[in-house]
């Protein structure tokens, strides 16, 4: 290495070092950790022929979360949220009309979400907060009544898939050029409708708004 090459390399190294914490156009980011889906739900009443006067509730669940993002500019990325399937207990709202206990059943879902995020901090900052908005598709599967409810005549539970908007705030804290810690809070509009059979009669819950807050903590890697 001659002196001129050495000088250029040194200048390049210093220039690069000054930018260590900033995301840049073309960066890929992968983050892995945990996400909790905490429903802020409301539902209409269970109807089988007539209104049973009882609605349903959906409990929280935590799973492994994975997300991948690509920076389309220095300040904007497009992020896809994936996770292992969330499994939620579904309970009777206030009382249990069939005498089978408080839990009605459980449902499993995957909520893939695509978000466009804007990073607004100074590019030299190790702390990189962002806001984002996007779209969610929630796929429900493995919907089951508890065995007590199956014995009471309930069967064929099915929830419609949901398509809706999502919004989030989050932040990355850079430990190094590659590694960082991320926290985010999202809100997802997840609305569904349940259908089932009770002793051969068709039943439904016409409106179930799950509308969860999703809290996640992940470790990120930039490449
Ligand atoms: Ni909603």
CATH number, position 68: 2.40.160.20
Distance (angstroms) between ligand 1 centre and the Cα of 37 equals 14
Distance (angstroms) between ligand 1 centre and the Cα of 205 equals 15
**The pLDDT of residue 1 is above 60:** no
**Choice between 189 and 93, residue whose per-residue pLDDT is larger:** 189
**What's the CA gap between 205 and 109, in Å, rounded?**
18
Distance (angstroms) between ligand 1 centre and the Cα of 208 equals 8
Mean residue pLDDT across the chain: 90
pLDDT level of residue 155 (50, 70, 90 thresholds): very high
Return the number of other C-beta atoms located less than 10 Å from residue 154's C-beta: 22
**What's the CA gap between 61 and 103, in Å, rounded?**
15
**The pLDDT of residue 186 is above 60:** yes
Domain range for residue 37?
Answer: 3-222
**What's the CA gap between 177 and 116, in Å, rounded?**
23
Q: What is the mean pLDDT of residues 40-53?
A: 93
Give the CA-trace dihedral at 56, 84, 115, 76, to 10 degrees: 150
So what's the pLDDT on residue 123? 82
Distance (angstroms) between ligand 1 centre and the Cα of 4 equals 63
Distance (angstroms) between ligand 1 centre and the Cα of 73 equals 32
Distance (angstroms) between ligand 1 centre and the Cα of 133 equals 15
* 3-class SS of residue 11: helix
> Which residues have CB under 8 Å from 2's CB, separation 6+?
none
> Angle CA(148)–CA(153)–CA(159) in degrees, nearest 5?
85
| 88, 41 contact by CB (below 8 A) | no
**What's the CA gap between 219 and 173, in Å, rounded?**
10
**Choice between 16 and 28, residue whose per-residue pLDDT is larger:** 28
So what's the pLDDT on residue 23? 92
**The pLDDT of residue 203 is above 90:** yes
Distance (angstroms) between ligand 1 centre and the Cα of 86 equals 18
Q: What is the mean pLDDT of residues 113-126?
A: 93
**What's the CA gap between 109 and 92, in Å, rounded?**
19
Distance (angstroms) between ligand 1 centre and the Cα of 178 equals 37
Q: Which of 197, 188, 193, 196 is nearest to 207 (CA)?
A: 193
Distance (angstroms) between ligand 1 centre and the Cα of 41 equals 8
pLDDT level of residue 20 (50, 70, 90 thresholds): low
> Which residues have CB under 8 Å from 216's CB, separation 6+?
33, 34, 35, 36, 65, 182, 183, 184, 186
Count up the domains in the chain and report the number.
1
pLDDT level of residue 3 (50, 70, 90 thresholds): low
**The pLDDT of residue 19 is above 60:** no
**The pLDDT of residue 14 is above 70:** no
Distance (angstroms) between ligand 1 centre and the Cα of 191 equals 5
Distance (angstroms) between ligand 1 centre and the Cα of 188 equals 8
Distance (angstroms) between ligand 1 centre and the Cα of 135 equals 13
Residue whose token pair is 């409301």:
42
So what's the pLDDT on residue 15? 47
Distance (angstroms) between ligand 1 centre and the Cα of 92 equals 20
> Angle CA(106)–CA(45)–CA(98) in degrees, nearest 5?
60
Which of these ranges, 4-18, 59-73, 139-153, has the smallest mean pLDDT?
4-18
Task: Give the rounded distance of the alpha carbon of 117 from its chain centre.
Answer: 15
Q: What is the mean pLDDT of residues 162-187?
A: 96
Q: Which two tokens stand for residue 192?
A: 């569904």
Q: What is the mean pLDDT of residues 133-154?
A: 95
So what's the pLDDT on residue 95? 75
**What's the CA gap between 45 and 42, in Å, rounded?**
10
pLDDT level of residue 160 (50, 70, 90 thresholds): very high
């Amino acid at each position: 290495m001659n002196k001129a090459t050495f000088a250029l390399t040194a200048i390049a190294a210093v220039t690069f070092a000054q930018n260590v914490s900033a995301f840049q156009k073309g960066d890929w980011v992968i983050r892995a950790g945990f996400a909790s889906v905490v429903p802020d739900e409301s539902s209409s009443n269970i109807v089988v022929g007539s209104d049973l006067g009882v609605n349903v509730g959906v409990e929280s669940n935590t799973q492994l979360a994975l997300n991948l993002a690509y920076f389309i500019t220095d300040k904007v990325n497009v992020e896809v949220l994936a996770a292992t399937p969330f499994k939620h207990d579904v309970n009777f709202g206030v009382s249990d009309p069939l005498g089978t206990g408080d839990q009605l059943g459980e449902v499993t879902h995957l909520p893939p979400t695509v978000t466009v995020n804007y990073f607004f901090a100074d590019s030299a900052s190790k702390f990189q907060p962002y806001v984002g908005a996007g779209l969610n598709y929630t796929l429900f599967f493995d919907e089951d009544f508890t065995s007590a409810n199956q014995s009471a005549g309930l069967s064929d539970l099915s929830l419609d898939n949901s398509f809706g908007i999502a919004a989030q705030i989050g932040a990355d804290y850079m430990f190094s050029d590659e590694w960082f810690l991320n926290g985010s809070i999202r809100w997802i509009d997840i609305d569904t409708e349940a259908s089932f059979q009770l002793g051969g009669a068709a039943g439904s819950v016409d409106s179930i708004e799950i509308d969860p807050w999703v809290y996640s903590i992940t470790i990120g890697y930039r490449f």
